[in-house]
Amino acid sequence: MSEAPSSSGLETGFSHVVCGIFCYNEEGVIGPMLRGLVEQTIFADPTLKKTVMVVPNGCRDDTAGEARRTAEEIMAGADAPAATEFVVHEIERGGKAGAWNQVVHGMLPGDADAWIGFDADTDIQQLDGLEQLMKALSADERLLATASVPVKDLEQQQRLTFAERLIKSNARVLDGGGSNLSGSLYVMKRENLRDLYLPRGLVGNDGFLSAMTKTDGFRRAPIEEAVRRIPSVTHIYESERTVQQVFKHQRRLTLGSAINSHLFRYMERMPPEQSRVETFGQLDRENPNWIADMIGEHQKKGMPLVPKHFLVKRWNRLKTGSLTERIKLLPKVVLGFVVDAYAYYGARAMMKKPGRGVGTW
């Protein structure tokens, strides 16, 4: 457990941080999440302003009401967090991408200089986790974002079913490493958010945001060092529990990556001076299904719906290492390939459906 901050503050390198928590039907989760959040060391620092912004989007339950009640209880307590304000912004239309755009480009306080993105079920394992992420970001000018390391909840469970043991033992193979930026918990400087936008119809928000950050909206080759996961900061997330869930999850990841690949090709042709926020915002307003239409045009020009390397990428792991190491790895690669094949052809089938578009992926 970290020591309490001194009266001079934690010296995170920032003066006002906004914690954006996106929710969809999280009435039973948001209360405990907020109570756990304010246990973070940054909330005891009186020199750092904190705005906790809860953003229920498209909710059909009382997530917003529960967030307000919990915030009132926290601030009325004897150990209320220092220099903290809670705000609940309800957005009627569902979809994290649209909610993210509204908040980041229209609701942040003018003096905010840091942004922390959360999901409502994020469970940070270190009390100084946010402090570590903020300090790492401010200490290195090359960094544009820091993120925590996601850990499956299976890692904390002792009694597992056969399927759960299989998922746990093959987590690295099945997950494929993931994006460096985990949307469940990441920190960015306010200035680096100004030309980031999540188009409607995205499935892979994390991968898109990470790629946009590393390439400055595809104005340059990716700088991998611009986004860094901090190994000493972890958060727990709910894992798949059955083989069927693994296949479905992997298909969605592949679908998201495939859609992103078409968007990346589109952006590579955009002039560097062209605003990504204004361009994507206008496209979203004029035609909510513009991404699906763009993919259709790419298909006519011979671009595959899903890149072929998504199907065969795991076999590259057998190109290095000793013969013994490759033989040991072979069963896991084969297992990963089976999941990839299902995901690859499943994603292709979904993208070929007539009338595909926002909300129909």
The domains located in the chain, with CATH, are 16-159+179-240 (3.90.550.10)
Distance (Å) of CA 326 to CA 168, 334, 341: 21, 12, 21
CB contact at 8 A, 9 and 97: no
CB neighbours of residue 227 within 10 Å: 22
First to last CA, the chain: 44
Query: Under 8 Å CB-to-CB from 226, ≥6 apart: which residues?
Result: 142, 143, 144, 145, 213, 214
Cα–Cα–Cα angle for 85, 89, 95, nearest 5°? Answer: 135
At residue 176, the pLDDT reads: 47
- In order along its 361 residues, the chain shows pLDDT tens digits of 344 444 457 899 999 999 999 999 999 999 999 999 999 999 999 999 999 999 999 999 999 999 999 999 999 999 999 999 999 999 998 888 899 999 999 999 999 999 999 988 899 999 999 999 999 999 999 999 999 998 877 777 778 776 777 666 666 544 544 447 888 899 999 999 999 999 988 888 888 999 999 999 999 999 989 999 999 999 987 777 788 888 888 898 899 999 999 999 999 999 999 999 999 999 999 998 899 889 888 888 888 999 998 888 888 888 888 989 889 889 888 888 998 999 999 999 888 875 554 445 5
Q: Give, in order, the Cα–Cα distances in Å from 87 to each of 32, 90, 118, 174.
A: 17, 10, 15, 38
Name the nearest CA neighbour of 312 among 290, 337, 281. 337
At 189, is the secondary structure helix, strand, or coil? strand
What are the beta bridge partners of residue 234?
Answer: 149
Place of tokens 């909610």: 99
pLDDT score recorded for residue 152? 78
User: Do residues 100 and 197 lie in contact, with contact meaning Cβ atoms separated by under 8 Å?
Assistant: no
| Cα angle: 232, vertex 235, 236; to 5 degrees | 135
What pLDDT is stored for residue 246 in this prediction?
82
Please state, in angstroms and rounded to a whole number, the distance separating the CA atoms of residues 235 and 33: 12
Residues 193 and 358: their CA atoms lie apart, in Å, by 24
pLDDT tens profile 79-102: 999 999 999 999 998 888 899 999
Q: Rounded to an integer, what distance in angstroms lies between the CA atom of residue 98 and that of residue 325?
A: 46
DSSP 62-129: SHHHHHHHHHHHHHHSTTPPTTEEEEE--BSS--HHHHHHHHHHHTS-TT--EEEEEETT-EESSTTH
- Give the pLDDT score at 171: 60
Both tokens of 203, joined, read 């499935």
Residue 339's Cβ-side half-sphere holds a number of Cα atoms within 13 Å equal to 29
β partners of residue 147: 186, 229
Radius of gyration of the chain (CA): 21
How many C-beta atoms lie closer than 10 Å to residue 247's C-beta? 17
> What predicted TM-score, i.e. pTM, was given to this entire model?
0.86
Residues 297, 309, 240, CA angle at the centre, nearest 5°? Answer: 100
- Give pLDDT, residue 335: 83
Output the CA–CA distances (angstroms, integers) from residue 118 to 7, 66, 111, 263, in the order listed. Answer: 28, 17, 20, 24
Q: In what order do the strands lie in the sheet with 114-119?
A: 84-88, 49-56, 16-23, 114-119, 185-189, 145-152, 227-237, 123-124
